Amino acid sequence: MACYWRDPGGDRRGSGLPTRRLGPQRRWATALILIALLGFALVLLLVRYRSPIALDLRVTRGLQRLENPALSAVLVAVTWLGWQPQQTLIAAVPLGLFFLTRRRVEGTFLVLALAIGALNDLLKLAIRRPRPSAALDDILVHGHVLGTSFPSGHVLTYVLFYGFLAYVTYTQVRRPLLRWGLLLPMLVLLALIGPSRVYLGHHWFTDTVASYLLGGALLIGLLLAYRSVRGRRVVPVPGPG
């Protein structure tokens, strides 16, 4: 595997994980976390006390007016990958690869990313926002989904899982063609999972926005912890003098 992967435990110039000058990066990351959490809190308050149904209906109807067989097939597939058992089977592939290549830190943090996604269930229990309804809201609902609506579990899980996996891929896969061949599908999934949930009538627009914001904050925090743990195993290169 040496020809495909950068060594995360060797020279920092090959690892993509520098051990110096992390102060400004941490400050920027902390600022982004606070901004994302503030945005999430504002959407939560809006959903809880102001009921932004007019905005949600406008976005849902706008997306559903774009309906055509090709678009529907793509967005159904994007959402389908987040259901069980396919989600577990997909996660098993990078996890197995990480542990086979002795990247136990990456494997552990990938499991942690999936575990953090369970926070979605607690929020749904607390908020109890009804899902879109074809009968009540006069929109198209594909299939039948149970549970409550806020926030979107698919979006939160994708941001954490594929976001962490994309970071590791970008920093550790050596060959550019392989790196971008792996990255592009993950970036497409991240971009389309929110619209797909709204297009299919499974979630409101504000559900997905909240999940992108919360997932982004949690992902940045996870990456900070990962860099901290991984950085302890990277040998620093002495500076001039």
34's CB contacts (< 8 A; 6+ apart) are: none
pTM as predicted:
0.85
180 SS3 class = helix
**pLDDT at 199 (0 to 100):** 94
Distance (Å, whole) CA 108 – CA 106: 5
3-state helix, strand, coil in the chain (%, to 5): 70, 0, 30
Whether residue 192 is predicted with pLDDT greater than 90 in this model: the reply is yes
β-bridge partners, 173: 5
> Checking phi first, is residue 131 left (phi over 0); if not, alpha (psi -120 to 50) or beta?
beta
What's the gap between Cα 29 and its chain centre?
16
Give the range among 31-45, 196-210, 223-237 with minimum mean pLDDT. Answer: 223-237
State pLDDT tens for residues 105-162: 999 999 999 998 888 888 888 888 888 887 677 788 887 788 888 999 999 999 999 9
**pLDDT at 8 (0 to 100):** 53
**pLDDT at 105 (0 to 100):** 92
**Helix or strand run (H / E) with residue 20:** none
**pLDDT at 183 (0 to 100):** 95
Q: Identify the burial level of 80 via C-beta atoms within 10 angstroms of its C-beta, where 0-12 means exposed, 13-18 middle and 19 or more buried.
A: exposed
Distance (Å, whole) CA 75 – CA 143: 13
**Integer CA distances (angstroms), 121 to 39, 125, 146, 150, 192, in order:** 20, 6, 13, 9, 22
**pLDDT at 238 (0 to 100):** 44
State pLDDT tens for residues 163-177: 999 999 999 988 999
State pLDDT tens for residues 22-50: 567 888 889 999 999 999 999 999 998 88
156's CB contacts (< 8 A; 6+ apart) are: 117, 119, 120, 211, 214, 215, 218
Cis peptide before 52 (omega within 30 of 0): no
Distance (Å, whole) CA 132 – CA 15: 46
**Integer CA distances (angstroms), 2 to 104, 134, 231, in order:** 16, 53, 20
Question: Regarding predicted confidence, which is higher, 44 or 238?
Answer: 44
Q: CA 46, 216, 101 angle in degrees (round to 5)? A: 155
Count Cα neighbours of 57 within 13 Å in the Cβ-side half-sphere.
Answer: 10
